[in-house]
Amino acid sequence: MLGNHTSATEFYLVGFPGSEKLRRALFSTFCFFYLVSLVGNAVIIVIVCVDKRLQSPMYFFLVHLSILEILLTTVIVPVMLWGLLLPGMQAVSLAGCVAQLFLQLALGTTEFSLLGVMAVDRYVAVCNPLRYNVIMNSQTCNSAVIVSWVFGFLYQIWPVYATFHLTYCKSNVVDNFFCDRGQLLKLSCDNTIFIEFILFLMAIFVLFGSLIPTIVSYTYIISTILKIPSASGQRKAFSTCASHFTFVVIGYGCCLFLYVKPKQTQAADYNRTVSLMISIVTPFLNPFIFTLRNDKVLEALRDGVKRCYQLFKS
């Protein structure tokens, strides 16, 4: 599509190839997932901010995780939904592609940093409960969140700059439903081996840099829980970590398959499937993971529904 041009000023997203009937079905399914994700994560934010029983570091971090999930899915899904309604491929400007890729990577990096912080928080809560409020005070929590956000956005400046500093002379057709970095690298006529290697090392640093404190924290957590004499006490202790642990397994599992590989230019169908898990399925599951397994959140949610019912009834 580029003809004799040496670089691209816009890109075309292939999206989901198939019949119009299939595309309409995908639109309905993904739109449902997106709306549930928005509403569910928004409800978590409101409940934690309103209910005094949830004013603790664990739920403070959960609010920021829900904000990240809303932003992350909003960066990708609306563009994808619009593409499903359009016949043919969807045109995206160069600036739009840069912004989408940067926000996706920056928000994802911030989320992994926050998951590492949440793991340490759970370690302190289970292994050092008497000093929990002293260690995880408001200043510590605010600093941890600010560092996570700043690090996430600063860390992804060079990777995005390097990606779009390449010359795109092969094509400007991206075989995905968003501006996927792996597919963008395949379109460049430059030698991308060095950039791919640096991106691989940077992905390793982010994912394992946050995974290591998570593994260490849960090693100590499990060791402490096993020392509790009663089975009910063990269940109660682990219930405080179960939601975070479940989310960690899903989130890290998807991103390890997508980003931590020496060759970034993976097959399009592979990238499309894993990207769907990250951008739609995980944000969709987040409200259920952190509410259905948490008695305090469920109780606050029930009380909130009752108050709303009484308000409308009166």
- Cα separation, 36 vs 38, in Å, equals 5
φ/ψ (deg, to 5) at 56 = -140, 165
Q: What is residue 7's predicted lDDT score, i.e. its pLDDT?
A: 60
State pLDDT tens for residues 228-274: 888 777 777 777 777 777 777 777 776 666 555 555 445 566 677 77
State pLDDT tens for residues 279-294: 888 888 888 887 766 7
Q: What is residue 268's predicted lDDT score, i.e. its pLDDT?
A: 63
- Cα separation, 144 vs 131, in Å, equals 18
Which fold would CATH assign to domain 10-299?
Rhopdopsin 7-helix transmembrane proteins (1.20.1070)
- Cα separation, 270 vs 275, in Å, equals 8
Q: Max CA-CA distance within the chain? A: 74
- pTM greater than 0.75: yes
Q: What is the pLDDT along the chain (314 residues), one digit of tens a residue?
A: 444 344 667 898 988 877 888 889 999 999 999 999 999 999 889 988 888 888 889 899 999 999 999 999 999 999 999 988 887 788 899 899 999 999 999 999 999 999 999 999 999 988 888 899 999 999 999 999 999 999 999 999 999 999 888 888 878 888 888 998 888 888 888 888 888 889 888 988 988 888 899 889 888 988 888 888 887 777 777 777 777 777 777 777 766 665 555 554 455 666 777 778 888 888 888 888 877 667 777 787 777 777 776 777 76
- Cα separation, 222 vs 237, in Å, equals 9
